[in-house]
A and B are shown apart, each in its own frame.
Chain A
Amino acid sequence: MQELDRKPRRSDGKNNRSLFRRTIFLMAVLGVGVFLPLIAQLYKLQIVEHEDWEKRAANQQTKNVSVAANRGTIYDREGRAMAMSATVYKLILSPMGVLGSVNKDDFKTADGKEDTAAYEKELYDRRKIIVDGIVDLFGYDEERLWSRIERINSGYEVLYYELEEEDAEKARAFISENKLSAGLQLTPSSKRYYPYSSVGSHVLGFMSQNKTSGDNKVGAQGIEMLYEDVLSGELGRVVTSKNGWGMEMISGYEMYFDAQNGYDVTLTLDERIQAMLEQTLAEGIETYDVVNGAFGLAIDPQTGAVLGMASTPDFDPNSYGKILNESLQKELDAIAEGKGKDSDEYIKALGDAQQKQWRNRTLSDTYEPGSVFKPITVSMGLEEGLISLDDHYFCGGSKRVGDRDISCHKHSGHGDQTLTQAVMNSCNVALMDIGEKLGPEIMWKYFEDYGLLSTTGIDLVGEVNSYFWTESSFKGPYGAQSVAVGSFGQTFKVTPIQMITAFAAVINGGHLLEPYLVQSISDGDGNTVFYHETQEVRQVISESTSEKLRGILEQVVGTPKGSGHNAYMSGYRIGGKTGTSEKRDELDNDDVICSFMGFAPVDNPQVLVLVAYDTPKRSAPGSNYIASGTYISGGNIAAPMAGQLIAKILDYIGVEKQYTSDELAGADAYMPYVIGKELTVAKGQLQNAGFECRTVGTGNTVTHQVPAAGVSIPGGSNVILYLGNDAPVAQVETPELWGLTPTAAKVKLEELGLFMRAAGVVDFADPAVVAASQSVSAGTVVSPGTVVEVRFVSSIEYGDQ
């Protein structure tokens, strides 16, 4: 019990020491200890996580109002606006705002309690005004609008995205009349217009909303997509501070970030050439009963600038979702009728059809180039010195490669032929001989050099690469057959843009160029911020080899026996190569692509076009003819279309016609009777008779012709076909031709419907040759169709040596 006694007798000193120690302890804990975790926490929040919290603070404390930037315009190379923006308005409904605009506190019964019924009624009335108004003004679905206006947690229901100014004005009046600004708002936005509708649609692309863009439309295809950042500019913002209730603070700070308008993009595309190209494709599809559409390209072979790029089916970027192609639409209608528009099948089919029409086949699809590739193989041989223009090839109808006979398209064989003739005949056996001489190593090197193994790098979205054999199999022991068929462009696939780029190198002096679509970009003030200089990838062949190829290719078109003679247009020096390619990789498929690659003028190529029609419909399975009797081949189907296209383009870009002396002194021929015939048929007849033609008026049926049927005029003359209601003038006055060159004289006469028979020194290439006299004197009134004989002399008779 000792312990029991000790405690109460604890001394004062001991107690004081305990008091002291315990107070010191408390001092340490509360004076120092507790502040340490607090400082640590402050350090964490204010230093380590500072930026994170600051962001959160800025998010809730500031109100961001965006200021729209004007999207840049897309121009063609002549400055025609192909895509432009205009201000439209978004009509936004705020169900929350409508709810808030009726104050619950205003509805009290006499004893001060809330009058719910009166409040509900007022709210209903307010909503009804809005619903009725919108339905009345714009025909919005009433039921749907009621359901939207009752989403009281929403403050942002976009009723219309693109109200034109006129409609916006109506909406504005409606809002102010009924004091609905709390519930309805108009905010400016912009809408994209494509004045030329479907022309160039695959290049331009279109604008649509995507997952990340929210309400805003962004470029979804083509140039619009690729140059989205450049075109869109930067949204401006007004940042103001707001309080916890979301109200803007009057005394708060404000910051302005000016909107930066988008830059304007100028394309290399020419709307007119593009339209000609598209028209050529459409005409060909119509004329030759083409099943799977067509594609075409027109480039400037000297620079790589793409002048036209077309692919069918196409679409109208103004309403990109709408199926433009009739046959696709018919298929869809059939599904809609059978299964209904809400069926999965229809939705899927619609999606597929849209994808199909948005697809730019010239760079997203590959095809076997076929015989169009032959000039490239020939260029390899000439460049390497393994073959020469003087070589002769014998075609017996087929060539045995390894264990297989590979036949020529002419099974009876072409017999003995020069190199030029072999290309003119598009002889597979000769090409296989060349391929054999080249061997896989050289061929592979040139595939690479011509850029066929890599994408071209064109500034457009969706480009894919080619399909080739693997390098090892091509060069391996079993590669001989690949070398053989590859030499005439089969069993590998390239994109049309790769093919035309490589072909351009063949004819432009050997320069492989990077094709491009955007020529320049300029800011809102017109300052050019980007200008595309020609990008040469490499020199593939020499200028002299290229010149030889141009010569060969001119023969292909210019010689009556040449496979591409249907592309011949007198007055234009056109060179080119035909191609008829099968789709070997698709089983049980007898589809063929008929194509023609042509350029002009031969001595200085200004334009290179590729026109290809995918599968003209056979008159019967296995038949090689279409229903109208045309033999299915590139030479019969693509070449005539391409020839006319090239002529049109040359006229448009102002390349002076060059007539050979043969053409100018062309033998007279009789004018056939074409009145009442379809235009295309009439053109065919005239072509066969050796005439060119021009049309006056619009329509599809020939109503008059100048000269009349049976009149004998010089071959190569440009006769006139009248379409629709247009009729020839009765009399014309003969022009004065003295001093004009043969070409100028011919053009001047033909403008009036007169025809020229040249005589004397007729050398179209010599500017010194001018007209000296004419059989019908100037000023004489004659009927259209009269032939005027013009005598030419060389004005410099004694040139200084």
Chain B
Amino acid sequence: MRKKAKRDLTIEQQLAHGPIDLPFLALVMLLTAIGLIMVLSASYASAMYNLDAAIDTGGDPLYYFKRQFLFAVIGVVAMFVVSKIDYQQFRWMSVFALGGSIVLLALVFTPLGRSAGSSDVRRWINLFGIRFQPSEVAKVGVILYFSARLSKRNSQMGPPKKWNRRTLTGRICERLDHIGLLELVPYVVILVVVLALLYKEPHMSGMILITVAAASVLFASGIGLHWFVGGGALVIGALAFLITQTEYMTRRITIWLDPFSDYRGDGFQPIQSQIAIGSGGLLGVGLGNSRQKYLFLPEEHNDCIFAIVCEELGMVGACVIMALFALLIIRGYWLALHARDRFGTLLIVGIITLLGTQTFLNIGVATNAIPTTGISLPFFSYGGTALAIQLAEMGMVLSVSRQIAAPKAE
């Protein structure tokens, strides 16, 4: 099939064929490549000793790496495919994305849901031979839908709706509309549904990330700040309650402050993580030379992979990688600022905020700067589908970047 000549395309189509943002792409590819290498290094021992009861590596030390590599290739392809899509199409897709996410989240509780390890936790499903966490999809679904809907906030808001002031309901509604509450109702409902499903799984870290991503989109779209102050206060209050009133959370905080109080138990992972990081020193023990990965550090190729990075590459290497993340995040927001329309901006803000939050929380946990939450490190942590979805999200950002007007050449 021959390519259509450029003149035959509509303006929309022409815009969608613009160049993608190369710095952003380069950073994504670089981080993916480094992440792959680190998975190889970190998972080597675990794969060799066939440590994970749920996964039979057959003693092949490259087991995890091979699979991660495969998914990285799939993810990169997906990223390019997604970047080719005119992101304006995401507007109508978003409804289905959100609907699909909710369905998938619900499917977790059907026999399709696979329980890994402990039978109480249901986070995974198997669909068409692919095993993945619906929460990963739900993050994208929520961001897409929120951005799409919030981008129309101004244009669709014609003259304010007239409420019947003679009825009490009418007056209340007018008042609520005035303070901007009514506008929030659909978002809150969606969020509550999604969070409730995640809570059932249970999936604490997924809840945190979806809440933060949704909040960032709402925040950027111009929702009144007082809602965030109120919402923030509510969350802090809830957290304070949980920390002081539930044994589970109190314990988490105790362990965080003094991991050695339960050396063999809950404190083990934070301690081992800090031993890995601390023993790395300034320059590290060298790529591939981590000793903590030899069955000391749990989750060494998943949530704790950054500890192995610190051990092998030292503070210098860790800072370089953090700098790459920081650049990617800054470039992402830069793209958001230059996006062609509000939808593009909000979409990128959601995706990049998600990425940034995930990065911060993961590294924060690994270094014991914050209490333990099981959040993976984008591009690094082992998890094929998560990586593929992550790269597809980057594809969305790139798709938006195509429609940025090129700066006028001097």
Please report A residues at the B interface, Cβ cutoff 8 Å.
4-5, 7-8, 10, 12, 15-16, 18-20, 22-24, 26-27, 30-32, 34-35, 37-39, 41-43, 45-47, 49-50, 52-54, 56-58, 60-61, 241, 243-245, 249
Q: What chain B residues lie within 8 Å of A50 (beta carbons)?
A: 278-279, 281-282
B291 partner, pick from A12, A18, A61, beta carbons under 8 A? A61
Are the CB atoms of A244 and B294 closer together than 8 Å?
A: yes
Option from A5, A53, A244 in Cβ contact (under 8 Å) with B296: A244
In contact, B330 and A27 (Cβ under 8 angstroms): yes
Given contacts A30-B333, A34-B360, A53-B278, 20 further A-B contacts (CB under 8 A): A8-B159, A8-B160, A19-B345, A23-B349, A24-B337, A26-B216, A26-B349, A27-B329, A27-B333, A37-B364, A38-B360, A39-B322, A42-B318, A46-B314, A56-B279, A60-B296, A243-B45, A243-B49, A244-B295, A249-B294
Contact A26:B315 (CB < 8 A) given known A38-B360, A46-B310: no
Least Cβ–Cβ distance between B176 and chain A, in angstroms: 12
Are A46 and B282 neighbours in the complex by a CB distance under 8 Å?
Answer: yes
Q: Which residues of A contact B322 (CB under 8 A)?
A: 35, 38-39
A26-B350 Cα distance, complex, nearest whole Å: 10
Residues of A within 8 A of B154 (CB): 10, 12, 15
- State whether B337 touches A20 (Cβ < 8 A): yes
In the complex, the answer to whether A31 meets B356 with C-beta atoms within 8 Å is yes
With A37-B369, A45-B274, A61-B291 already in contact, the answer to whether A31 and B329 are too (CB < 8 A) is yes
B353 at the binding interface (Cβ < 8 Å): yes
Indicate whether B68 reaches chain A with its CB closer than 8 angstroms: no
- Nearest residue (CB) in A for B212 is A30
Can you name 10 A-B pairs with beta carbons within 8 Å? A8-B157, A24-B337, A26-B353, A32-B326, A38-B322, A56-B275, A57-B276, A57-B291, A57-B292, A243-B294
Q: Is residue B269 within 8 Å, beta carbon to beta carbon, of the partner chain?
A: no
Q: For residue B159, give the distance in angstroms from its CB to the closest CB of chain A.
A: 7
- By a CB distance below 8 angstroms, the chain B residues around A45 are 274, 277-278, 310, 367
For the complex, is B50 an interface residue (Cβ under 8 Å from A)?
no
Chain B residues within 8 Å of A244, by CB: 294-296
Given contacts A8-B157, A32-B326, A46-B314, contact A245 B356 (CB under 8 A): no
Q: Which of B176-192 contact A (CB under 8 A)?
A: 178, 180
Residues A61 and B353 in contact, CB atoms below 8 Å apart: no
Q: How far is the CA of A447 from the CA of B281 in the complex (A)?
A: 63
- Asked whether any CB of chain A lies closer than 8 Å to the CB of B280, the reply is yes
Cα–Cα, bound, A30→B389 (Å)? 21
Interface residues on B, range: 35 or more
B318: chain A residues at CB < 8 Å are 42, 46
Determine how close the nearest CB of chain A comes to the CB of B349; give it in whole angstroms: 6
Question: Which residues does chain A contribute within 8 Å of B222, judged by CB atoms?
Answer: 15, 18-19, 22
Chain A residue with minimal CB distance to B345?
A19
Q: Across the interface, do A30 and B360 meet the contact criterion of CB distance under 8 Å?
A: yes
Binary contact readout B143-160 vs A (1 if CB under 8 angstroms, 0 otherwise): 000000000011001011
- For A16, list chain B residues within 8 Å (CB): 342
Which residues of chain A come closer than 8 Å to B172, judged between CB atoms? none
Residue contact B333 to A24, C-beta cutoff 8 Å: yes
Q: Which of A5, A24, A35, A39 has the most CB of B within 10 A?
A: A35
CB contact under 8 A between A54 and B160, given known A35-B322, A38-B369: no
A24–B296 alpha-carbon span in the complex (Å): 42
Name the B residues within 8 Å of A47 (CB-CB).
Answer: 281-282, 315
Nearest opposing residue in chain B for A27, CB measure: B333
- A7, B294: Cα distance in complex, Å: 61
Instruction: Please encode chain B, from 351 to 374, with 1 for each CB lying within 8 Å of some chain A CB and 0 for all others.
Output: 011001101100110011100000
Question: Which chain A residues border B353 with CB–CB below 8 Å?
Answer: 26, 30
Cα A30 to Cα B314 with chains together (Å)? 23
B166-205 interface code vs A (CB 8 A; 1 in, 0 out): 0000000000001010000000000000000000000000
Whether B342 contacts A19 by the Cβ 8 Å rule is yes
B219 within 8 A of A: yes
- Chain B residues at the A interface, C-beta cutoff of 8 Å: 45, 49, 153-154, 157, 159-160, 178, 180, 216, 219-222, 274-282, 291-292, 294-296, 310, 314-315, 318-319, 322, 325-326, 329-330, 333-334, 336-337, 342, 345, 349, 352-353, 356-357, 359-360, 363-364, 367-369
Measured between beta carbons, the chain B residues less than 8 angstroms from A46 are 277-278, 280-282, 310, 314-315, 318
Q: Which B residues lie within 8 Å of A30 (CB)?
A: 329, 333, 352-353, 356-357, 360
Given A38-B360, A47-B281, also A243-B295 (CB < 8 A): yes
In-complex Cβ contact of B274 among A22, A24, A53 (8 A): A53
**Chain B residue nearest to A12 in the complex (CB):** B154
Q: Which residues of B contact A58 (CB under 8 A)?
A: 279
Which A residues lie within 8 Å of B281 (CB)? 46-47, 50, 54
Most buried by B among A7, A23, A39, A249: A23
With A244-B295, A245-B295 known as contacts, the answer to whether A54 contacts B333 (CB < 8 A) is no
* 8 cross-chain pairs, A with B, having the tightest CB-CB distances, nearest first: A53-B278, A244-B295, A30-B356, A27-B333, A57-B279, A243-B294, A31-B330, A34-B360
- Contact B360 A23, beta carbon cutoff 8 Å: no
CB distance from A644 to the nearest CB of B (A): 70
Complex Cα–Cα for A249 and B368 (A): 29
- State the Cβ distance, B373 to closest chain A Cβ, in Å: 15
Closest to B331 in A: A31
Q: Which residues from chain B contact A20 at a C-beta distance below 8 Å?
A: 337
How many Å lie between the Cα of A43 and that of B265 in the bound state?
27
* B274 contact set on A, CB distance < 8 A: 45, 53
Residue of A nearest to B289 (CB): A253
A213 to B333, CA, bound (A): 64
Instruction: Identify the closest chain B residue to A246 (Cβ).
Output: B295
CB neighbours (8 Å) of A15 from chain B are 153-154, 222
CA of A15 to CA of B278, assembled, Å:
47
Which residues of the partner chain B approach A43 to less than 8 Å between Cβ atoms?
Answer: 315
> A43 to B315, alpha carbons, bound, how many Å?
7
Contact between A42 and B319 (Cβ–Cβ < 8 Å)? yes
Asked whether A42 lies within 8 Å of B219 as measured between CB atoms, the reply is: no
Q: Which residue on A lies nearest to B291, using beta carbons?
A: A61
Tell me the smallest distance from the CB of A52 to a CB of chain B, in Å.
Answer: 7
Nearest B residue to A14 by beta-carbon distance?
B222
Q: How far apart are the CA atoms of A288 and B154 in the complex, in Å?
A: 122
Given the interface pairs A18-B222, A22-B220, the reply to whether A35 lies near B326 with Cβ below 8 Å is yes
> What's the minimum C-beta distance from B87 to chain A, rounded to whole angstroms?
17
Q: What's the nearest-Cβ distance from chain A to residue B189, in Å?
A: 22
With most chain A CB atoms within 10 A of its CB, the pick from B178, B278, B296, B342 is B278
List chain A residues, Cβ under 8 A from B292: 57, 61
Please measure, in the bound complex, the distance between the C-alpha atom of A35 and the C-alpha atom of B45, giving whole angstroms. Answer: 30
User: B333 — which chain A residues lie within 8 A by C-beta?
Assistant: 23-24, 26-27, 30-31
Chain B, residue nearest A33 (CB)? B360
Shortest Cβ distance from A246 into chain B, in angstroms? 9
Residues B220 and A41 in contact, CB atoms below 8 Å apart: no
| Least CB distance, B25 to chain A, in whole angstroms | 18
Contacts of B369 in A (CB 8 A): 37-38, 41
**How many angstroms from the CA of A46 to the CA of B292 in the assembled complex?**
15
Give the shortest distance, in Å, between A625 (CB) and chain B (any CB). Answer: 75
How many Å lie between the Cα of A54 and that of B277 in the bound state?
9
Assembly CA distance A686 to B59 (angstroms): 94
Which residues on A sit within 8 Å (CB–CB) of B360?
30, 34-35, 38
- Chain A residues positioned under 8 Å from B364 (CB to CB): 37-38, 41
A243 x B279 contact (CB < 8 A): no
Of the candidates A4, A12, A32, A249, the one whose C-beta lies within 8 Å of that of B178 is A4
* Cβ–Cβ < 8 Å partners of B319 in chain A: 39, 42
**Nearest A residue (CB) for B160:** A8
From A24, A42, A241, contact of B367 by CB (8 A): A42
Cβ–Cβ < 8 Å partners of B280 in chain A? 46
Q: How far is A363 from B359 in the complex, measured between Cα atoms in Å? A: 73
Bound: A497/B222 CA distance, A: 97
Across the interface, which residues of A come within 8 angstroms of B357, CB to CB? 30
> A19 vs B221: C-alpha distance in the bound complex, in angstroms?
6
A7 shortest CB reach to chain B, Å:
8
Among residues of B, the one whose C-beta sits closest to the C-beta of A16 is B342
